[in-house]
Amino acid sequence: MRKAEQMGKLTRLTERSIIVSLMLLAALTLSCSRDKQVYLFSYFVNNGEDGLHLAYSEDGLQWEALNDNRPFLAPSVGESKLMRDPCIVQGPDGKFHMVWTAGWWEKGIGYAWSEDLIHWSEQQFIPVMAHEPEAKNCWAPEIFYDPGKDLFMVFWSTTIPGRFPETDTIDPNGLNHRMYYVTTKDFESFSETELFYDRGFNVIDGTLHLDNGTYILFLKDETPSPVEKNIRIATGSNLTGGYSKPSEPITGDYWAEGPTAMKIDGTWIVYFDKYREDRIGAVRSSDLKNWEDISGQVSFPAGTNHGTVFKAPVKVVERIKSTGSP
């Protein structure tokens, strides 16, 4: 009888151990799942008048709109009150920092930050080209965080008539862009505006990555005649300058803009606006030299325009799904 009782106690102890182990495993699995990161894509629709839109993906190919494709943040700064080309980067403080094109003909850019992509700070207008009386615009600003320097660089494209006369008369609309930048640690104080990229041609829509000690700049050659209008790559060893001449086009002959890139499982994917087809295209490469067009493999919400791909914890997406925008 005692032996039977002992066996019973052992059985109950074993069952309890199994239950506890399963509970711990479930908790660990849930924790790992919630720590998992997914891909997010910030974008605008139409002319950017309704504000920020977000989509998410688990594989970087199939993208689903969040918040039923309704905007998360309406624009409130700049004369035109637009929110085009939204670029979002998560900083080391956990905050999501965003800049955007505030209007077609502004001398500054929009800025706001959020901890959850739902609730946003008061919007600011940063007058990065106010010191240039003839500056026509500030297009497609991007944020890049450099961990080695522990600072953010914000860069964009501007036309200043007469500044680069060798290409000043090519564009029929009088646009002759070069890239400029400022740096900041807190988005409150900024360095003076400096020239970032000039290789003797009209250039817009830059996006930047750091890979194995090399800065990789994806850009659009905006040369109107003979037509280029394609995405290329420049590289450098210094964050703020000294980048190479651009590579050959990686997106075909022309009519591509707004590149944004992500390295997924060791392979680069560059998403871009096929703006004459009104859709997002993509190319893929394992070496940044040989590119495969995978536009037929990607799917984005209807109306998606020039945005930025970035990573965020899955719990951020779960919260958005459960609450939506305020």
Q: Name beta bridge partners: 195.
A: 180
At residue 2, the pLDDT reads 59
At residue 232, the pLDDT reads 98
More confident residue, 299 or 23: 299
Kindly provide the b/e burial profile for residues 274-295, where b requires at least 16 CB atoms within 10 angstroms of the residue's own CB. Answer: bbeeebbbbbbbeebeebeeeb
- For residue 156, give the nearest of 219, 242, 229, 83 by alpha carbon: 219
Q: pLDDT tens for residues 66-103? A: 999 999 999 999 999 999 999 999 999 999 999 999 99
At residue 10, the pLDDT reads 52
Running DSSP on this structure, what letter comes out for residue 89?
Answer: E
Mark out the alpha helices in the chain (DSSP H runs).
2-35, 314-323
At residue 253, the pLDDT reads 82
Running DSSP on this structure, what letter comes out for residue 299?
Answer: B
Section 128-136 average pLDDT: 98
Q: Where are the domains of the chain?
A: 1-35, 38-323
Q: What confidence category does residue 323 fall into, taking pLDDT thresholds of 50, 70 and 90?
A: confident
Section 269-273 average pLDDT: 98
**Looking at domain 38-323, which CATH architecture does it have?**
5 Propeller (2.115)
Q: Name beta bridge partners: 242.
A: none
Distance, in Å, from the CA atom of 192 to the CA atom of 142, rounded to the nearest integer, reads 17
For the chain, how many residues are written? Answer: 326
Section 139-157 average pLDDT: 98
Q: pLDDT tens for residues 248-258? A: 999 988 899 99
CA distances to 65, 170, 275 from 281, rounded to whole Å, are: 17, 28, 9
Strands of the 305-313 sheet, one edge to the other: 64-65, 53-57, 37-44, 305-313
Torsion, Cα of 287, 281, 205, 218 (10° steps): 0
Amino acid at site 28: L
Residue 217 has pLDDT above 70, yes or no: yes
More confident residue, 43 or 170: 43
Distance, in Å, from the CA atom of 74 to the CA atom of 20, rounded to the nearest integer, reads 48
- Please tell me whether the peptide bond between 92 and the residue prior to it is cis, using omega within 30 degrees of 0: no
Running DSSP on this structure, what letter comes out for residue 73?
Answer: B
Amino acid at site 121: S
In which residue are the tokens 């615009």 written? 137
Q: pLDDT tens for residues 256-266? A: 999 999 999 99
Section 115-134 average pLDDT: 98
Q: What confidence category does residue 292 fall into, taking pLDDT thresholds of 50, 70 and 90?
A: very high
Section 187-210 average pLDDT: 98
What's the gap between Cα 44 and its chain centre?
12
Section 227-245 average pLDDT: 97
